[in-house]
């Protein structure tokens, strides 16, 4: 029997996988390529185990897919309009990656790099990445780390840190897609509470065009728990992007002890609460997931998973007027963003 040649990453080296385990029986799998979350298996009250993340069948499929499944994205998560911004009077042109705009840090963003594993054990993994001056158009050298921790009460805690040697916008997040039913049924049957008074309308390309808008009286009002299907595609702001793909300015205002959102599986047997120091959550209902390679059954369809990405509001480098902390990181400062996904079996 012939030995199969291992599939190598684009840099010619093997993918390195990391497994985290806790005393409750939860198991989380990561990969150094893209500092990517591959799997999060949660023990249920009936003794079964439920997969809560969308993912591919093999590491090499993550390189092929374009949905950023579970990846660490940067230097700037979400979109920057026309791939340009001005900083301290100097204009910067970025490499576009979605039409004329830049999405998730450019065509060769942090999700498409090998991160160095600095430390790993059953409970945590620390990875680092160095991004050189001019990378994807961004000024200055940027040194970034991500620290994944799995706690005994079933929280995945993700801490991004970064420093720069020239002023630069920095906005790092993880792009995990969740389906708490574990069978990749329609995620619109999940119930969601999003603790936010305002959201950011966008055009068909996901670019903000009119400033923050109150959620009150709109389909974007998740202050009281409701099914995602309720009011789905009910208005123009949703129809422009085939569902929800919008940033919500959080009530928690960066207080990681205050919940930002609660999500419930359709069968109500699993809950996930999100905590974050970031000012906003991008709620993406998986509107364009079709064709993404799936862990089982070939390919995902639209609306089979949702993302709750912690971040600055999209296109923040061009909107200093928005009521959130400054997205510009300067030499001598440290960017720190902490997000926790807490799974609670009912």
Q: Which residues are catalytic?
A: 175, 309
Q: What is the DSSP string of 130-142?
A: EE-TTGGG--S-E
Residue 104 tokens read as 């998730």
Q: How far is C-alpha 78 from the geometric centre of its chain's CA atoms?
A: 9
Classify residue 254 by burial, with Cβ atoms within 10 Å: 0-12, 13-18, 19+: middle
Taking the C-alpha atoms of residue 193 and residue 223, their distance in angstroms, rounded to an integer, is: 6
Residue 169: other Cβ atoms inside 10 A: 23
220: helix, strand or coil: coil
User: What value, to the nearest 5°, has the Cα angle with vertex 165 and ends 169 and 312?
Assistant: 15
Taking the C-alpha atoms of residue 199 and residue 215, their distance in angstroms, rounded to an integer, is: 6
Taking the C-alpha atoms of residue 93 and residue 78, their distance in angstroms, rounded to an integer, is: 16
Sign for the pseudo-dihedral over CA of 318, 236, 241, 197: positive
Contacts of 179 (CB under 8 A, 6+ apart): 52, 53, 54, 185, 187, 190, 304, 305, 306
Q: How far from each other are the two terminal CA atoms of the chain, in whole angstroms?
A: 47
């Amino acid at each position: 029997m012939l030995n199969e040649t291992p599939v190598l990453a684009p840099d010619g080296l093997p993918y390195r996988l990391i497994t985290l385990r806790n005393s409750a029986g939860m198991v989380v799998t990561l990969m150094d390529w893209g500092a990517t979350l591959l799997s999060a298996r949660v023990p249920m009250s009936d003794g079964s185990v439920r997969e809560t993340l969308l993912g591919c069948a093999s590491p090499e499929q993550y390189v092929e897919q374009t949905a950023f499944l579970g990846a660490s994205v940067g230097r700037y998560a979400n979109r920057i309009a026309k791939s340009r911004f001005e900083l301290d009077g100097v204009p910067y042109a970025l490499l576009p990656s979605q039409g004329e705009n830049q999405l998730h840090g450019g065509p060769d963003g942090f999700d498409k790099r090998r991160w160095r594993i600095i430390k790993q054990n059953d409970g945590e993994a620390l990875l680092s990445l160095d991004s050189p001056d001019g990378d994807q158009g961004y000024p200055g050298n940027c040194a970034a780390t991500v620290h994944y921790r799995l706690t005994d009460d079933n929280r995945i805690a993700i801490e991004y840190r970064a420093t720069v040697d020239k002023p630069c916008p920095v906005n790092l997040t993880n792009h995990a897609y969740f389906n708490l039913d574990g069978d990749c049924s329609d995620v619109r049957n999940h119930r969601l509470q999003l603790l936010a008074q305002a959201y950011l309308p966008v055009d068909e390309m996901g670019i903000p065009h009119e400033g923050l808008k109150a959620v009150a009286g709109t389909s974007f009002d998740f202050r009281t728990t409701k099914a995602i299907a309720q009011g789905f595609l009910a208005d123009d702001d949703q129809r422009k992007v085939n569902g929800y793909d919008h940033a919500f300015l959080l009530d928690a205002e960066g207080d990681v002890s205050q919940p930002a959102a609660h999500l419930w599986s359709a069968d109500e047997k699993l809950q996930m609460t999100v905590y974050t120091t970031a000012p906003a959550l991008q709620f993406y209902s998986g509107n364009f997931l079709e064709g993404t390679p799936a862990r089982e059954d070939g390919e995902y369809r639209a609306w089979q998973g949702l993302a709750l990405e912690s971040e600055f509001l999209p296109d923040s480098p061009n909107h200093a007027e928005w009521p959130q902390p400054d997205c510009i990181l300067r030499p001598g400062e440290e960017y720190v963003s902490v997000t926790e996904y807490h799974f609670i079996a009912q």
